[in-house]
Amino acid sequence: MLSPEAAETILGEPDPAERNELAHTTALALVHGARATEPAASPEADAAMVRRLVELVDTEGLDLLVQLWSRSPADTLPGALWRLYLLREWTRRDPRTIADRYHLGLHQAEVAGVVAGVAGPTGPEEIQSVADAVLHGVFRGDLAVALDRAGAFLRVLAAGSAMDADWVELSDDARATELTRRAGSLLETAEDLEQAASLWRAGKLD
């Protein structure tokens, strides 16, 4: 049996309230901190600051922030940022598949394609470029626009995944079911991001 003193030295799961507070604090600092800085002396300096913010999260704090943000509801700032970063990491891991499905879904979701702002012809480079552009919008642009762009991007991917499922069903029913489920998840995340954009515009995303 452990003594009370020894038991207190064992680190357990963080207190949910403390985790929630830290998730919100870091999300607010990341988004509002960039907007609170003095205006850059030049466009080059401004771009460098944005790049440092992106790199800071990538190299120093992504794992920690994802752990903090991953349990946040979709209608909160940390929850919205978590979804954005998952999207960006996905574009980095599998840009070719994403580019193929985006191309498939573009004609089914033309309006969403315009909002997403992916240049044509659609390839892995364009896919990664739009993900980076969305994140730059988080740091220095209109967060609502960045969230809407990400949501539109996912709507096109959802349409492409659904079309892919229809074709795959002829030869692999299990795979088709998985693609259909994934399309539904992408659409749900798109709706989450669009709701977050509306909340941000109303001053209610925190």
> What pLDDT is stored for residue 202 in this prediction?
95
CA end-to-end distance (rounded Å), the chain: 44
Q: Cα–Cα distance between 80 and 83 in angstroms, integer?
A: 5
pLDDT value of residue 111:
66
> pLDDT value at position 43?
59
What residues of the chain score a pLDDT lower than 50?
1-12, 37-38, 40-41
Residue 168 in contact with residue 174, Cβ under 8 Å?
Answer: no
List Cβ neighbours of 160 (8 Å cut-off, separation of 6 or more). Answer: 100, 101, 102, 103, 104, 105, 106, 108
pLDDT of residue 118: 64
Domain boundaries, the chain: 16-201
**In this predicted structure, what is the pLDDT of residue 67?**
76
* Positive/negative CA dihedral, 68, 70, 71, 72: positive
- Output the pLDDT for position 175: 76
Which residues contact residue 112 at a Cβ distance below 8 angstroms, ignoring those fewer than 6 apart? 152, 153, 155, 156, 159
Task: Measure Cα distances from 1 to 7, 9, 119 in Å.
Answer: 9, 14, 64
pLDDT at 145: 84
